[in-house]
Amino acid sequence: MSRQSNSYDRIYEIVRQIPKGKVATYGQVAELSNLAGKARVVGYALYRVDMKTSDIPWQRVVNAKGEVSLSPLRFGTDYLQRSLLEGEGISFNDAGKIDLRKYIWKP
């Protein structure tokens, strides 16, 4: 098994623990996955998740500013992520940010 596969498995294990109505940051997930300082690896791992069939709640991971990280490579799923979070009761302010003090997951 490759190192990347092991890292991704740890990331997915952590993300599955984030409860509905809460979020974690990429950096927080990286740290909890023993990948401190490697928030981008978390982003790469979540990019590979099949958003329609996976049990991994990928939408619950946001950037350190409390925003959905926009990317032209996500083909519109940035908006899906926000919609899914709003469906879980998470609100965004007018600037498109989540109040991390209110919604951050504290494992």
Element (H, E) at 101: helix 100-103
Q: Is the domain defined by 3-103 classed in CATH 1.10.760.10?
A: no
**Per residue of the chain (107 residues), what is the pLDDT tens digit?**
555 678 999 999 999 999 999 999 999 999 999 999 999 999 999 988 887 789 999 999 999 999 998 765 555 566 789 999 999 999 999 999 999 999 999 99
Global pTM value: 0.90
Boundaries of every domain in the chain: 3-103
